[in-house]
Amino acid sequence: MTESKPSLALADVTRIARQAASEQAHRHEVVGVSVSGDGSNYVEILITIDHPHTGGALVVIGAFRDVAETTLLREIRSRLQLRQSQR
């Protein structure tokens, strides 16, 4: 029998996402975190991006919350940086 890793609380996911968003070059705001179903470890993080030249956008980042805080932070940072490089 394998033990499942405890999931980060939604408040922790939100805090981590806000930290990653605050590190970006343009204004980012975490507007919500939603769980995909009862007991699910999959969450969707909704972030608005206010870019001075291209306007605003809503980014949805899907992630699993049964990881270490540092892993989730790296994942969100990476996705936001990828998004910025595509604009």
pLDDT digits (tens, 9 = 90+) for 29-64: 999 999 987 778 999 999 998 876 767 888 999 999
A 10 A CB-CB count for 33 gives 21
Backbone angles phi, psi at 53, to 5 degrees: -100, -30
Structurally, what CATH architecture does the domain formed by 10-86 represent? 2-Layer Sandwich (3.30)
Predicted TM-score (pTM) of the model is: 0.85
Name the average pLDDT for the chain. 87
How large is the average pLDDT for residues 66-73? 96
| Residue 49 to residue 70: CA distance in whole angstroms | 23
Burial class (CB in 10 A: 0-12, 13-18, 19+), 12: middle
Residue 26 pLDDT greater than 90, yes or no: no
pLDDT for position 20? 95
Residue 10 DSSP one-character state: H
